[in-house]
Amino acid sequence: MVAFLRLLRILITALRYRLDELIPKDKLPLGLRVLLSFTIFLPASKLSRGERLRHFFEDLGPVFTKFGQLLSTRPDLVASDIASELDNLQDNVAPFDKDSCREIIESALGASVEELFAEFDRHPLASASVAQVHSAKLHNGDEVVVKVIRPGIEKTIEKDIKLLYTLAGLVERYAPEGKRLRPVEVVGDYEHTIFDELNLQREAANASQLRRNFTDSPLLYIPDVYWDYTRKNVMVMERIYGIPVTNLDELNAQNTNMKALAENGVEIFFRQVFDHNFFHADMHPGNIFVSREHPDKPQYLCVDMAIIGTLSQEDQYYMGRNLLAIFQRDYRLVAELHVQSGWVSSDTRVNEFESAIRTVCEPIFEKPLKEISFGLIVINLFQTARRFNMEVQPQLVLLQKTLLNIEGLGRQLYPELDLWQTAQPFLERWQQDRIHPRSIAEQLKRHGPEWLEQFPQIPDMLFASLDQARQIADIAPEIQKTIQQFQAPRARSRRRTAIGLLAFAGAVITALPSMGISVTELPIDSLALGGLALWLLISR
């Protein structure tokens, strides 16, 4: 009954924002078409389709809001105008009960709030769909924030995900591009992502790794994790004070070097992806601040490390070379790299793929570099590749979305940002470093012990393989002879069967006129019988 009422609310909310106008009625079952015909009495929506979806997700609560945010990270599946609008989804929801928050903290950490903290603000600093954050002070004087998972959120998520799967199935079946969008797969990705976010120990581990990667860096600061106070549903981190990255008035008031700030953001992205292979994949403005210190050499402060992206060594290598080839407008190399990486099928015609890439990219390159969106070029490249049966690569989708966020933020801070000027030298240096003797020595140092341990086994494995090859060669004539002996009686049997069937069919057809039946009145399965006999005869 609860599930039915929830589904009813979803349908009513969809009609309120006239999402039915976005679905072609001729694709729907007759009953549903009749039901939706009554929507002609509802006022038409004046909102864009992106705005309708944004309000739809916001009205349905935190789980759907989070799902909408995930959709905004899939520009490969969602139209750009919709993805852009869903980026504006607000994750601010009413805080949960103060007593419940206290009980969760005390149960998780095994002590009273007074024993744990010298000060604890019962009013949250922020409240989102999955968790809320409180300010506090430890007994040693350290200022911290306490993040607490919402009580009962897992059950709510499980119920809403079941409904999302139902809706996704309907979209996949009836929407014009339902199969291409793979909505069921998207819901599966969301299920994995949101349950990961419920584990604050995972987020704390991500934060610790990022902090270690940028130790003493003037570019980025990650707050410290207090592991003694961190559990699956409670996390305590160092409190940071900074200017929200979108507060341009305050940034300008302290004479922040906006050009350096924008370029630093680009460098942070490329360092995370290609130097560390561990990148913050949720870098929307709400998670990014700017230090008040050294405004002439601005430093980013970052929070909320629940979503992290990584690439395999192969994907990292091919992605880096692809981006560099795009900078150099070497479309042939881009096409070849897609085939070599396995992103598109090995039987793809490279010439055709190269031509398709050139057709998409050349008009874009007619603009001045500073006006070209590098992120959109990457999206267009992947969209072109999908025409050549490139499967969705979730890790690459996360990467391109992060690149779009960084580029958009950088140009908001400094409209003259030339991302190419920052990125191309970085990638050229990265490619040179990969083949530098120092890098090769590091690989030997890292994998050397493993290789040395396996080395003594190589002669035995080699001799075993040669022995197997000899054995196969010795019995090959016997295998061939057995196959021929097996095929001969089968061929004779099929010929006899075919001749018998043809004779039987001929006799039947000859007798039909005397029975008053025309050959043209024969049922299709009778004709198929004759065809089967003929096939058996000629396939001997």
One domain for residues 265 and 387? yes
Question: For the chain, what percentages of helix, strand and coil (3-state, to nearest 5) are there?
Answer: 65, 5, 30
In a domain, 468, yes or no: no
One domain for residues 138 and 284? no
**Between residues 368 and 534, which one has the greater pLDDT?**
368
Looking at residue 537, its pLDDT comes to 45
Task: Please compute, for residue 165, the number of CA atoms within 13 A of its CA located in the half-sphere on the CB side.
Answer: 9
Residues 6+ apart with CB under 8 A from 252: 258
In a domain, 467, yes or no: no
Residue whose tokens read 């490249």: 381
Predicted confidence (pLDDT) per residue in 389-423, tens digit: 887 676 777 787 788 888 888 888 998 888 888 88
Residue 42 has pLDDT above 80, yes or no: no
One domain for residues 263 and 334? yes
Taking the C-alpha atoms of residue 79 and residue 175, their distance in angstroms, rounded to an integer, is: 14
One domain for residues 10 and 138? no
One domain for residues 325 and 428? yes
Mean pLDDT over each residue of the chain, to the nearest integer? 80
In a domain, 454, yes or no: no
Phi and psi torsions of 149, nearest 5°: -70, 140
One domain for residues 151 and 216? yes
Lowest mean pLDDT among 329-338, 400-409, 471-480: 471-480
In a domain, 480, yes or no: yes
- What single DSSP character describes residue 75? T
Report the largest interatomic distance among the alpha carbons of the chain, rounded to a whole angstrom.
109
Residues 6+ apart with CB under 8 A from 377: 326, 361, 364
Comparing CA positions, the residue from 94, 134, 104 lying closest to residue 232 is: 104
One domain for residues 285 and 411? yes
Of 219, 239, 259, which residue constitutes the final position of a domain?
239
In a domain, 412, yes or no: yes
Ramachandran region of residue 437, left (φ > 0), alpha (ψ -120 to 50) or beta? alpha
The torsion of the CA quartet 373, 377, 382, 388, rounded to 10 degrees, works out to 160
CB atoms within 10 A of CB 198: 18
One domain for residues 235 and 203? yes
pLDDT bucket at 300, cuts 50 / 70 / 90: very high
Residue 534 has pLDDT above 50, yes or no: no
Residue 251 has pLDDT above 90, yes or no: yes
Lowest mean pLDDT among 393-402, 507-516, 531-540: 531-540
Residue tagged active-site, from 76, 87, 189, 282: 282
One domain for residues 55 and 30? yes
Looking at residue 115, its pLDDT comes to 95
Task: For the chain, report the end-to-end CA distance as a whole number of angstroms.
Answer: 63
Specify the 3-state DSSP secondary structure of 200: helix
One domain for residues 366 and 347? yes
Tokens found for residue 311: 């690439």
In a domain, 450, yes or no: no
Lowest mean pLDDT among 21-25, 194-198, 532-536: 532-536
In a domain, 8, yes or no: yes
One domain for residues 414 and 516? no
Comparing CA positions, the residue from 385, 331, 340, 395 lying closest to residue 362 is: 331
Taking the C-alpha atoms of residue 111 and residue 139, their distance in angstroms, rounded to an integer, is: 14
Looking at residue 525, its pLDDT comes to 45
Taking the C-alpha atoms of residue 383 and residue 74, their distance in angstroms, rounded to an integer, is: 12
**Cα 374-210-417 angle, rounded to 5 deg:** 25
Q: How many domains does the chain have?
A: 4
Contact 419, 263 (CB under 8 A): no
The residue range of the domain holding 363 is: 241-439
Phi and psi torsions of 120, nearest 5°: -150, 120
- Parallel/antiparallel/unpaired status of strands 220-221 and 300-302: parallel
Instruction: Tell me the average pLDDT across 505-534.
Output: 48
Residue 463 has pLDDT above 80, yes or no: no
The question of whether 228 is a catalytic residue gets the answer no
Q: Output the pTM of the full model.
A: 0.70
Of 439, 463, 493, which residue constitutes the final position of a domain?
439
In a domain, 466, yes or no: no
* Residue 5: its H or E element: helix 2-16
Helix axes 524-538, 457-511, angle to 10 degrees: 130
pLDDT bucket at 334, cuts 50 / 70 / 90: very high
CB atoms within 10 A of CB 253: 11
Comparing CA positions, the residue from 267, 262, 219 lying closest to residue 408 is: 262
Share of the chain above pLDDT 70, in %: 77
Of 239, 270, 289, which residue constitutes the final position of a domain?
239
One domain for residues 61 and 206? no
